[in-house]
Amino acid sequence: MIMTITKKIPLEERIILALDVERPDLARELVVRTESHIRFYKVGLQLFLAAGFDIVDWLAKRGHKVMLDLKFFDIPETVKLAVRQLNDRGVTLATVHGNDPIIRAAVEAKGGVKLLAVTVLTSFGEEDLRAMGMTGSVADLVYLRARRALELGCDGIVSSGLEVGRLRQGLGEKLLIVTPGIRPGANILEERDDQKRIVTARRAVADGADYVVVGRPISKAAEPLAVIAALQAEIRKALET
C-alpha cells in the first residue's frame, strides 16, 4: 500500500457502476436492483446515445451521483460548448480525452462539474504503444498525462489500477483518481475480455484510488448485490489497513 486515503467518501459511493447497456429500460432496471448498495453510476457513450440526458436526469432525481463518460475529444471550441451543456444537469464527474488545448477548453467550461482527464485506456497495453511508434512505457505515459492534466486545472484523472500508486505518491492527495478495469478478487485471473490492465478493488483503493468503476462483473452477475457486497468488503479492508 502506498498511502492512506484521506478523502471522506461514503462506501456506497466508492463503486461507480457502469450502466453499459443498450436500452434505458435495462439501465433503470439495473439501478433499481442495485441502488440499495450503490449511489454512483456511470453513463457512457452507448447508453447516452440511446437515452440522452433523460437517463442522467432520472438518476439525479433518484438522488444518485452521475459520471458522464463521453471522453470529449474534438476541436477546443466544440469541446468547450459541449462541456458547458453539463452545467446544472446533475453530473458530478465528466471525462475529457485530448491534448492541452482540448483540456483547457473543457476546464474553462466545466462549472461545478469535476473534470477527469483520461490518461491511457485500460484496453491499451505496451504492445499497442509500440504499434503507434511510442518507445516509453504505459506507466510513464499515464504519469506524464496525469501531471499535465492537474497543471491545466482538471480535478482528476482516469487511470488503471496498475498506475495508481505512482500517481498518488507523485501527485499528492488533491488529485481525484478514478480506476476502471476492476475485477473481484476471485475472478482476477479469469477471462479479461477487452480489458488488459486490470486489478482488484482492494489493490486499487489501497494504492490510492478514490473511486473504482465496475461494469460487467456486477451487471452480468446472477446475484449483483452479492458481488457488490464482496467488492465493498475489499474496499473496506483496504481503507482499514
pLDDT at site 216: 93
32 assigned to some structural domain: yes
The Cα 35–Cα 14 span in angstroms is: 13
1 assigned to some structural domain: no
What are the distances in angstroms from CA 120 to CA 66, 82, 85, 116? 22, 22, 25, 12
The Cα 111–Cα 128 span in angstroms is: 35
pLDDT means over runs of 10, the chain (241 residues): 65 97 97 98 97 98 98 97 96 96 97 93 67 75 92 95 93 94 65 63 95 95 96 95 79
2 assigned to some structural domain: no
Element (H, E) at 68: strand 65-72
Element (H, E) at 101: helix 100-109
**Taking Cα atoms as reference points, which of 201, 222, 224, 225 lies closest to residue 211?**
201
| CATH number of the domain within which 23 lies | 3.20.20.70
As given in the structure block, the three cell numbers for residue 31 are: 439501478
6 assigned to some structural domain: no
pLDDT at site 166: 94
Which structural domain range is residue 158 located in? Answer: 11-240
pLDDT at site 236: 96
20 assigned to some structural domain: yes
pTM for the model stands at: 0.90
Q: What is the DSSP letter of 102?
A: H
121 assigned to some structural domain: yes
43 assigned to some structural domain: yes
Q: What is the DSSP letter of 182?
A: B
Domain count, the chain: 1
Catalytic residues: 71
pLDDT at site 139: 84
Element (H, E) at 163: helix 161-171
4 assigned to some structural domain: no
